[in-house]
Structure 1
Amino acid sequence: MHAPIGTFDDARPAPDALDLLTRPVADAIRHWRGAVPAEDLVFVDTDPEWADTATFAEHYGPELLAQSANCVVVAGKRGGETTLAACVVLSATKVDVNGAVRRQLGARKASFASMDTAVGETGMEYGGITPIGLPEEWPVLVDAAVVDLPYVLLGSGTRRGKLIVPGKALAELPRATVLDGLGVAVQTA
């Protein structure tokens, strides 16, 4: 199989790679529902040394930067209650935690979840967290720019490998909300 974006030696439909995924991601793909068929989700096997976005693009092609998204776990707090959520934004942007996220979660304060919390609650590896396979009660906030991409490169739940999915598939995830302005441009000095 040829990946819809990028040049990878090993690309296959995600349902054919369940043994390479973490349990929550494999389960989500196994029970996939939505207009986009599970076979349109592609797993590409990649070297874990190149998992970080900038290094990944250096090795697999700089054109992938514009088609890559990051999934980060955030914690919204209000009145002693904490809500964990996932945010998916283009890799060239950062999550508007104190604006869009805080408002969407109805939180007084929002921040990035600790690495221990993100890994422990998702069952995924740090640096490979993906919105596919998250706990069903979690809100999944997706920047509209990600949904608009024909295909987007995401983590696969592990640092080894990535998922390439149609952007519109992310809008169909359980508890997904598409937001304009969730990802904001990164300020450079």
Structure 2
Amino acid sequence: MAHDDRVTLPSFPTLESLPAADNPSLVAPPVAAALAGWPGAARVAVVDIDPELADTAAMSEAYDIPMTASGNCVVVAGSRAGDERIAACVVRADTRADVNTLVRKMLDVRKASFLPMDRAVVETGMEYGGITPLGLPPGWRVLVHEALLDEPVVVVGSGVRRSKLLLPGPLLADLPGAEVVPDLGR
């Protein structure tokens, strides 16, 4: 995909933004594939970071990024009548996903819990600490905390720990399969 130079990439002063779609080596393969087929990709940047700083609190402190501008992606699962239901929940980093009430009801399951880390890594093709809502397996729901849509720039994982994606908050609503949920984060 050719980068349209008329599009201003989202950025933070402490990070160097590159067009994500033009730099597939900086993201996990499923993320690169999703970017290649998504019209919103022209407005997504990728930034190199120290992998030791991939966890949100460390990254926010090291790169002077407000917690309100970071979206954490957690994978939640539950089942009903033998039918497993999985959702990736993207919540503002200064909140936690309301798994036990809201997500459980949305999945229509009796009990919802975080997908085990090793399984989440295998099924997404992404690294732990880098799982992102772009490039997830088909059939997974993508629940987006409505509060993130108000942020001019949101930082999310890139599928790997050595980089992050930056995108305009409102663009999260346009992610493939995204469902915007008020009060997803508490």
**What TM-score does the superposition give when structure 1 sets the normalisation length?**
0.89
Q: CA deviation at 1:6?
A: 4.2
Cα distance in structure 2, aligned partners of 1:3 and 1:169: 11
Determine if contact 2:11/2:17 at 8 Å carries over to the other structure.
no
Secondary structure at 2:112 match in 1: strand
1:67 aligns with 2:73: no
1:137 aligns with 2:139: yes
Determine if contact 1:3/1:44 at 8 Å carries over to the other structure.
no
- Once superposed, which parts of structure 1, at least 4 consecutive aligned residues long, lie more than 6 Å away? none
Cα distance in structure 1, aligned partners of 2:13 and 2:91: 19
Q: CA deviation at 1:2?
A: 7.3
Q: How many residues align?
A: 179
- 2:185 maps to 183
- Return the match for 1:7 from 11, 14, 18: 14
- Return the match for 1:30 from 16, 21, 36: 36
1:173 aligns with 2:180: no
- 1:80 maps to 82
- Return the match for 2:42 from 16, 30, 39: 39
Secondary structure at 2:147 match in 1: helix
Cα distance in structure 1, aligned partners of 2:111 and 2:9: 44
Determine if contact 1:74/1:84 at 8 Å carries over to the other structure.
yes
Unpaired stretches in structure 1, ≥5 consecutive residues: 185-189
Cα distance in structure 2, aligned partners of 1:79 and 1:151: 40
Determine if contact 2:143/2:180 at 8 Å carries over to the other structure.
yes
AA in 2 matched with 1:127: G
- 1:56 maps to 59
Q: Deviations over 1:95-153 (max 9, x none)?
A: 10011101111111100110011101100000000001111311100110012222100
Secondary structure at 2:174 match in 1: coil
- 1:114 maps to 116
AA in 1 matched with 2:56: T
Unpaired stretches in structure 2, ≥5 consecutive residues: 1-7
Q: CA deviation at 1:48?
A: 0.1
Determine if contact 1:5/1:64 at 8 Å carries over to the other structure.
no
Determine if contact 1:78/1:109 at 8 Å carries over to the other structure.
no
RMSD: 1.5
- 2:157 maps to 155
